Structure 1
Amino acid sequence: MSMRTADAIIVGGGLVGVATAIAVAKAGLQTIHLAPAGPPDRRTSALMMPSVDFLVAAGLIDDPANVGHPLTQIRIIDATQRLIRAPETLFDANEAGLAAFGWNFANSRLLERFHSVAATLGKLDIRDMGATAFAADGSGGTLTLADGNTISAPLIVGADGKSSLIRSAAGFPVHENQFEQAALVCDLDLGRAIGGASIEFHYPNGPFTLVPAGDKRANLVWIDERSVLEAARSQGPEALAKIFADKSQRLFGTILPVTPSHVFPLSTLSVARPGKQGVVLVGEAAHAFPPIGAQGLNLGLRDVADLATVLGSADRSQPDWAGRVSQRYADLRAADLARTGTMVDALFRSLLADMLPAQGLRAGGLWALRLLPGLRKQAFGIGMGNR
């Protein structure tokens, strides 16, 4: 066995990768973080309060008001014109005894804040370099870097996204599904402010969602067939503004795009157990969903929190400590990954369903959520990721 370079190596420079590197270094492990610089992330993330509380407790942010915007309401409008339509439904954080369901953050601002925290940690060696190969050896493994050098550790964490090198090379079975739909995202200026309400207009090929971004700003996530989104985007800002006004039923006056729009393909990806033999998967290396129910980064941060919990109680004097960490992490994450994956997949497919029974079930479900306080409370807990 080769000489180990560090206790742990984290691969991937996104939000979950940086948060993981910080958590692992704070647990006392000598940590190398392979974080090659990527293009600016212009997306936003709606983080529910358990995730926000974790960020504060982990020292990743201080006051969420300094970097984000509160989400106090969720308003759902069925705009499908289907035979059976769901009622308009409003969820208010006050019903759950909360000031807000969560906060909407610009990913770039969160990443900047995470980087500032990472720079203060003596046990964290950050390298602007990627890996070209990974060889698992039953307890962690060895990574070949872009410069040809190799590094190794008993604990390897793959935070390297949907196309994860770590997941593939370590032989994790993966289940994937590609959708015809894609997501168009950009920032908007509205004629009338939406306050703290996230507003979802449900259309046959997916929701058109406005997420509050302060004052009269909103972040748009529009899901539709990729050909429809690309055609709309190609028409330019003026035509897009008219489309946006129509899709929002002209409830918010003139809508102007203030950033370039980007179209992302949608897919699901999951592994049943995200850890084995000293290798751990976090974030989109382990799970990826359409942007429905605000679960993506929330689930990734729960990965980080559970890995930190496992490392906090690990006995690293044992020769197989990393293998035990990966197994315990997989045990701890299995139920949450299965539950969230099932929920998001069912919700997304229900939005696209044309058959009358599915329409009726969706409409009936929203009526029940509207009228039954106990069911609403349960839905709040599931959506927020309470465990």
Structure 2
Amino acid sequence: MTSHDADAIVVGGGLAGVAAAIALAQAGLKTVHLAPSGPPDRRTSALMMPSVDFLASVGLVDDPAEIGHALTQIRIIDATGRLIRAPETLFDASEAGLDAFGWNFANMRLMERFHAVAATLANLETRDIGVADLDGTTVTLSDGSRLSAPLIVGADGKKSLVRETAGLRARETAFSQSALVCDLDLGRAIGGTSVEFHYPQGPFTLVPAGGKRANLVWIDDHAVLTAAKDSGPEQLNATLLEKSQRLFGAIKLASPAFVFPLSTLNVDSAGADGVVLVGEAAHAFPPIGAQGLNLGLRDVADLAAALATNDRAAPDWAINLSQDYAARRTSDLARTGGMVDTLFRSLLAEMIPAQALRAGGLWALKLAPVLRKQAFAVGMGRR
């Protein structure tokens, strides 16, 4: 029988990776988490209620109000100026019988909480080191040392070394658009309402961050965003004021602005031969519909469910687990990927038939409560 250093090795230090390492350790596996330190993640994540409920169930979030801000409404404003425009639409969580659709969290606050929980688990060892190679069940670290485990979890992002060396095929499509993210101080508070201005090259979204603070996600052509970022704080404030249609008074930068390129990534299978993929190693989308980390946490939830139903006394338990996990993730990854891709492309469509379909769809959602409730369920990732 092969001797291993651990039951599971998790590669990747992002939120999905830490959550996966915690889930494995909580299931009783001796787990090594390889998480090389990187720059602080100053982004935010809008987590829908199923994700928040999952985090609460595994002890990663106690009271979401302590570290996040409730998202109670979604307001969509068509700012395209196209021939066929969609109506302004407001979705309210109370229509679905909810206090909130979800909560907006600063990624750094979530990470602090995750690390605090990880530190309480005696069978979870976290190492600040990267991975150079993977050969079957053996991981070669960046210092040349080796570790082995029957289960390898790749949470190492879109350029995943685990995915590549395990032979799990991925397809990535790059867009000409990028996203600019930063924090803003507004003249008037937006309360619990996420406000989306839909422009021809993508949405300009303000997400509640408490008080008069909002998190901005602005999608546009890469050259437009880099020019805006490089124009200086005063000119950028003026640009953002115009893009927000002056609905919230004066706008002032409250953090540095960052621009990052957009692409989609999907895999044929999220697991095989004792290797599983979570987070952006398995899927990546433009920041539309708040699906990124939500989908990553559903990966972790399905990994935990597969662990609970597979017999670890079996010789090939890790292989069986990876196959079970891949089967569990197939429909959710396909459905969510298709939804986000269709939504993003519909926002960019210039053809009149596509504009008419999108506008008609929003009119239907605006006027039909049954359709709105179905849209709530899809957008929140309810299964």
TM-score (norm: length of structure 1): 0.98
| Seq. identity, % | 71
Q: After superposition, give the CA deviation of every residue in 1:311-361 in whole Å (9 maximum; x if it has no partner).
A: 012211110000000000001010000000000000000000000000000
Aligned partners of 2:309, 2:351: CA distance in 1, in Å?
A: 50
Letter in 2 for 1:376: R
**Which of 285, 298, 302 pairs up with 1:306?**
302
- Matching residue of 1:85: 85
- Separation in structure 2 between the aligned mates of residue 247 and residue 107 of structure 1, nearest angstrom: 25
1 CA distance for matches of 2:330 and 2:309?
19
Which of the numbers 157, 176, 181 marks the counterpart of 1:180? Answer: 176
Contact 1:176 1:269 in 2 (8 A): yes
Give the equivalent residue in structure 1 for 2:279: 283
Deviation at 1:58, TM superposition (A): 0.7
Q: Which residue of 2 aligns with 1:363?
A: 359
* Structure 2 residue aligned with 1:64: 64
Residue identity opposite 1:68 in structure 2: G
CA RMSD of superposed structures (Å)? 0.7
Unpaired runs of 5+ residues, structure 2, are: none
Q: Find out whether 1:251 has 2:247 as its counterpart.
A: yes
The match for 2:335 is 339
Q: Kindly state the Cα deviation for residue 272 of structure 1 after the two structures are TM-superposed.
A: 2.2
Equivalent-residue separation in structure 2 for 1:117 and 1:300 (angstroms): 18
In the alignment, the residues of structure 2 paired with residue 342 and residue 305 of structure 1 have an alpha-carbon distance, to the nearest angstrom, of 21
> Which residue identity does 1:227 align to in structure 2?
A
Partner amino acid, structure 2, of 1:81: G
Asked if the contact 1:9/1:157 (under 8 Å) is kept, the reply is: yes
Aligned residue runs from structure 1 range 48-59, under 5 A:
48-59=48-59
**2:213 paired residue number:** 217
Query: In structure 2, the residue corresponding to 1:209 is in which secondary structure?
Result: strand
Retained in 2: the 8 A contact 1:272–1:338?
no
State the Cα distance separating 1:3 from its structure 2 match.
2.7
Write the distance in 1 (CA, Å) between the matches of 2:295 and 2:58: 16
CA distance in structure 2 between the aligned counterparts of 1:39 and 1:2, rounded to whole angstroms = 37
Partner Cα distance (1:195, 1:223) in 2: 23
| Residue 199 (str. 1) matches residue 199 (str. 2) | no
Question: What corresponds to 1:113 in structure 2?
Answer: 113
Q: Distance in 1 between matches of 2:150 and 2:277?
A: 14
Q: Secondary structure at the match of 1:143?
A: strand
Inter-partner Cα distance in structure 2 for 1:89 and 1:369: 8
- Deviation track 1:53-78 (CA, whole Å, cap 9, x = no partner) reads 00001101100000100000000000
3-state SS of the aligned residue for 1:385?
coil
> What do the CA deviations read for 1:111-151 (whole angstroms, capped 9, x no partner)?
00000000000110110111101112xxxx11100111000
Describe the superposition over 1:180-204 as per-residue Cα deviations: whole angstroms up to 9, x where unpaired. Answer: 0000000000000000000000000
Corresponding residue for residue 99 of structure 2: 99
The residue aligned with 1:323 is: 319
Amino acid at match of 2:130: G
**One-letter code of the match for 1:161?**
G
2:348 pairs, out of 349, 352, 365, with 352
The one-letter code sitting in structure 1 at the alignment partner of 2:363 is W
- Equivalent position SS for 1:125: strand
Distance 2:128 2:3 in 1: 23
The Cα shift of 1:173 comes to 1.1
2: CA distance between counterparts of 1:134 and 1:318? 24
1:147-199 deviation per Cα after TM superposition (whole angstroms, max 9, x unaligned): 11000110000000000000000011111100000000000000000000000
> Displacement of 1:2 after TM fit?
5.3
**Matched residues in 2 for 1:272 and 1:367: separation?**
35
Structure 1 residues 74-97: Cα deviation after superposition (integer angstroms, max 9, x where no partner): 000000000000000000000000
Aligned equivalent of 1:4: 4
- Other-structure match for 1:34: 34
Structure 1 counterpart SS, 2:331: helix
Please say if 1:155 is aligned against 2:182.
Answer: no
Deviates more, 1:306-315 or 1:207-216: 306-315
Secondary structure at 2:147 match in 1? strand
1:181-237 Cα shifts (integer Å, max 9, x gaps): 000000000000000000000000000000000000000000000000000011111
Are residue 386 (structure 1) and residue 367 (structure 2) matched?
no
Distance in 1, matches of 2:304 and 2:200, equals 41
Task: Select between 376-385 and 311-320 the one with higher mean Cα deviation.
Answer: 311-320
SS in 1 for 2:132: strand
Which amino acid is 1:164 matched to? Answer: S
SS in structure 2 of the partner of residue 115 of structure 1: helix
- Equivalent residues in 2 for 1:137-152 (5 A)? 141-152=137-148
- Aligned to 1:267, the other structure's residue is in SS state strand
Residues in 1 aligned to 2:288 and 2:233: alpha-carbon distance in whole angstroms:
26
TM superposition shift of 1:283: 0.3
Gaps of 5+ in 1: none
Give the deviation of 1:273 after TM superposition: 1.4
